[in-house]
Amino acid sequence: MSVPEPAGGEEAKQAKEAEDAEKFSFMATVTKAPKKQIQFADDMQEFTKFPTKTGRRSLSRSISQSSTDSYSSAASYTDSSDDEVSPREKQQTNSKGSSNFCVKNIKQAEFGRREIEIAEQDMSALISLRKRAQGEKPLAGAKIVGCTHITAQTAVLIETLCALGAQCRWSACNIYSTQNEVAAALAEAGVAVFAWKGESEDDFWWCIDRCVNVDGWQANMILDDGGDLTHWVYKKYPNIFKKIRGIVEESVTGVHRLYQLSKAGKLCVPAMNVNDSVTKQKFDNLYCCRESILDGLKRTTDVMFGGKQVVVCGYGEVGKGCCAALKALGAIVYVTEIDPICALQACMDGFRVVKLSEVIRQVDVVITCTGNKNVVTREHLDRMKNSCIVCNMGHSNTEIDVTSLRTPELTWERVRSQVDHVIWPDGKRVVLLAEALALIELYNAPEGRYKQDVYLLPKKMDEYVASLHLPSFDAHLTELTDDQAKYLGLNKNGPFKPNYYRY
The amino acid occupying position 297 is L
Buried b (16+ CB within 10 A) or exposed e, 138-169: bbeebbbbbbbbbbbbbbbbbbbbbbbbbbbb
413 is in an annotated binding site: no
141 is in an annotated binding site: no
C-alpha span between 161 and 437 (Å, rounded): 10
453 is in an annotated binding site: no
318 is in an annotated binding site: yes
Closest CA to 170 of 92, 224, 126: 224
C-alpha span between 476 and 223 (Å, rounded): 32
Q: What is the 3-state secondary structure (H, E, C) of 413-470?
A: EEEECCEEEEECCCCCEEEEECCCHHHHHHHHCCCCCCCCCEEECCHHHHHHHHHHHH
55 is in an annotated binding site: no
Q: Which value, in Å, is the radius of gyration of the alpha carbons in the chain?
A: 24
What CA dihedral angle connects 202, 208, 213 and 216, to 10 degrees? 140
Q: CA 211, 251, 280: angle at the middle one, nearest 5? A: 115
448 is in an annotated binding site: no
- C-alpha to C-alpha distances, 160 to 48, 265, 299, nearest whole angstrom: 34, 34, 30
248 is in an annotated binding site: no
Q: What is the 3-state secondary structure (H, E, C) of 167-225?
A: EEEEEECCCCCCCHHHHHHHHHCCCEEECCCCCCHHHHHHHHHHHHCECCECCCEEEEC
320 is in an annotated binding site: yes
- Long-range Cβ contact pairs of 400-408 (< 8 A, separation 24 or more): 400/29, 400/62, 400/368, 400/375, 400/376, 401/374, 401/376, 401/377, 402/29, 402/59, 402/62, 402/432, 403/59, 403/60, 404/377, 404/378, 405/378, 405/381, 405/430, 405/432, 406/59
Q: Look at residue 54 and give its three-state secondary structure.
A: coil
- C-alpha to C-alpha distances, 57 to 2, 149, 285, 374, nearest whole angstrom: 49, 18, 28, 22
- Whether the Cβ atoms of residue 366 and residue 389 lie closer than 8 Å to each other: yes
What CA dihedral angle connects 411, 412, 414 and 417, to 10 degrees? 160
243 is in an annotated binding site: no
First-to-last CA distance in the chain? 73
Q: What is residue 477's DSSP assignment? A: P
Q: CA 172, 224, 114: angle at the middle one, nearest 5? A: 45
337 is in an annotated binding site: yes
Binding residues: 151, 225, 250, 280, 284, 316-321, 337
- Binding site listing for NAD(+): 316-321, 337
Annotated binding site for substrate, which residues?
151, 225, 250, 280, 284
